[in-house]
Structure 1
Amino acid sequence: MEAQLEQIREQQKETWNKFSPGWRKWDDFTMNWLKPMGDEIIRVLQLRSTDVVLDIAAGTGEPGLSIAKIVKDGLVVITDLAEGMLEVARDNAAKRGIRNYETVACDVCELPFSDNTFDAISCRMGFMFFPDMQLAAQEMQRVLKPGGRIAAAVWGTPDQNPWVTMIMGTISKHMQLPAPPPGAPGMFRCGSPGVLAEIFRQAGLVNVAEQELTGKLKAGSRDNYWTFMNEVAAPVVTAMSKADSNTQAKIRSEVMELVDQKYPDHQAAIDFGARVVCGQKPQA
């Protein structure tokens, strides 16, 4: 891997480890919000009870732990770059009495598994952050058995996701945020139709299909939304940490106003849009 990509990977590992306590605190809330994308991944993977499944960039354990309940006679290997996130995953598995799983801290671009190991691979909200998405897809294809399926969920376009654009747009108005280099890892890197599907095809997958999902981040109140974003969303926390107290107060006030304007019922059920893309490794 190129030195620049390795640097990105190490920064990501440090960030996710740092934010793992916040993800632990908000885990039930976040997992409920992201469940539709996990459910769609599970549906298109067409799992069997004996399958051995790889869940990549699983964070606190989903959808891998839900998959483990389905592949009762099989195994799920749950991976993430950050060991701190996998600690939460192991605690979640213990609470739910799930034992047919393993956790492995590793980089998707250098998977520590033999060729043709897994019957299926899942990846929810990870692809757009991989330093080299094509290499990641090729590694997934390598460790997948012939005929096996891969399914991944990614965020849609910025206009579909005011839950993040409202707050980041407001921050950008008040602060000079450095522009990321073209093609850098980011929330909406796979948002346009066909982007991830083409990566899958380039990796040699066939029967590639794509579906759009929409829904709501049900925060319950604008205060809850603000707190959640400031404890879990790394770009928000990073930017806000560089603002003085007056600027922070202005940003918060304007975000609250935006939420009230767009969602006047005071429930802060804020729109999101995502894509689920699946593909299959050709039969040998």
Structure 2
Amino acid sequence: MESEHQIEQIREQQKQSWNTFSPGWKKWDTFNMEFLRPMGEAIIENLHLKGNEHVLDVATGTGEPGLTIAAKLPHGKVTGIDLSEDMLLIAHSNAQKKKIKNYETRAADVGDLTFKTESFDAVSCRMGFMFFPSMEIAATQLHRVLKPEGRISLSVWDGPEQNDWVTTIMDAIKKHVTLPPPLPGAPGMFRCAPARKMEELLSLTGFKDISTQRISSTVDYESFERYWEIMLDVAAPIVAAMSAVDEKTRAIIQLQTERSFRAKNKSGKAKLNYAALVISAHK
């Protein structure tokens, strides 16, 4: 189990990182939300919403899938929480643009929720669990704030071999940058990928009828240049690694990433594969 000091450190790092990268997420919001939409749709389907629920959207980021859920709740509402105030500003702006009035944002730490016990009918969380300082504490908190029989549905990334969209650039970087090995259980893209990891976590927390589905497809970047730009605008670990290299090495990494990208797109397309797990359960 992580110590309180470790949790505090990780929480602050995550908060800083998402605040720092919020302009990139705003810039590429349409692209990213389209990329992540299938996972959001699966989460919504698994929540079996009737239209009058109060849903907690955890790690709401720029607002999804919370905004889409809110639009499906004529007599309900969504509270979107995130550590990053800057991401929440984008979410709030997106809600206004879409004229969605039953979606509210709140800066909150999933490991220390101030909501009353049994406050929510359902919980959604798309691509958040991998980054929580303590997944055990987060799951316990979400179980607590859910009403009896309330449903939870969340998505996480499957393993690296099924996610070329991130490994294509990371594999090239690793040839030139010595990345410190992540601490066991530390936040990271593929932290939740090991078989049955999330099922066991939810089961230990008290959730029942846990099911997992796998979603896999490709994401179209349109061109290598666009892929490179997006990854350097939104991916904190990539930017951190690239900041440690000189111009010559950066050019080599870009060339090697491009070769790998094109090798995966021999017909001239600009697509890379991805796979995610969607885990659902009820209290």
TM-score, normalization: structure 1?
Answer: 0.98
Q: Is 1:48 aligned with 2:50?
A: yes
Match of 2:144 in 1: 142
Matched, 1:151 2:153: yes
Structure 1 gap segments, 5+ residues each: none
Note the C-alpha offset of 1:236: 0.6
Correspondence for 1:64? 66
Q: Counterpart in 2 of 1:276?
A: 278
**8 Å contact from structure 1 (residues 222, 267) kept in 2:** no
Residue 192 of structure 1: CA displacement? 2.1
- Give me the whole-angstrom Cα distance separating, in 2, the residues matched to 1:172 and 1:178: 10
Partner-residue secondary structure (3-state), 1:110: coil
Letter in 2 for 1:181: L
Displaced runs of 4 or more, over 6 A:
none
CA distance in 2, matches of 1:112, 1:242: 39
1:217 Cα deviation from its structure 2 partner:
1.6
Query: For residues 247 and 83 of structure 1, what CA distance do their matches in structure 2 show?
Result: 35
Structure 2 counterparts to residues 1-284 of structure 1, below 5 A: 2-281=4-283
CA offset at residue 98 of structure 1?
0.2
Secondary structure of the residue that 1:24 maps to in structure 2? helix
Shift of residue 101, structure 1, vs aligned partner:
1.3
Taking the aligned partners of 1:231 and 1:79, their CA distance within structure 2 comes to 23
Aligned equivalents of 1:72, 1:88: Cα separation in 2: 23
Secondary structure (helix, strand or coil) at the match of 1:220 reads coil
**What is the root-mean-square deviation in Å for CA atoms of aligned residues?**
0.8
Shift of 1:197: 1.0
How far residue 216 of structure 1 moved from its aligned partner, in angstroms, is 1.2
Q: Distance in 2 between matches of 1:232 and 1:110?
A: 27
Instruction: Return the alpha-carbon distance in structure 1 between the equivalents of residues 41 and 245 of structure 2.
Output: 38
Give per-residue Cα distances to partners, 1:21-66, cap 9 Å, x unaligned. 0000000000000000000000000011110000000100000000
- SS of the equivalent of 1:252 reads helix
Tell me which amino acid in the other structure corresponds to 2:111.
Answer: C
Matched residue count = 281
Q: Secondary structure at the match of 2:150?
A: strand
CA drift of 1:4 comes to 1.0
Using the alignment, how far apart are the partners of 1:93 and 1:267 within structure 2? 34
- How far apart, in 2, do the equivalents of 1:279 and 1:237 lie? 36
Instruction: Specify the code of the residue in structure 2 equivalent to 1:161.
Output: N
Q: Residue deviations 1:148-187, cap 9 Å, x none?
A: 0000000000100011111111101011111111111100
Q: Is the 8 A contact 1:222 1:266 kept in 2?
A: no
* Distance in 2 (alpha carbons) for counterparts of 1:122 and 1:198: 18
Within 1, Cα distance between the matches of 2:196 and 2:242?
33
Q: Structure 1 CA distance, aligned partners of 2:266 and 2:227?
A: 14
Q: Deviations over 1:196-229 (max 9, x none)?
A: 1111101100010000110112111111101000
In 2: Cα distance, 1:192 partner to 1:45 partner: 24
Structure 1 position 242, deviation (Å): 1.1
Mapped partners of 1:31, 1:170: distance in 2? 26
- TM-score, normalised with respect to structure 2: 0.98
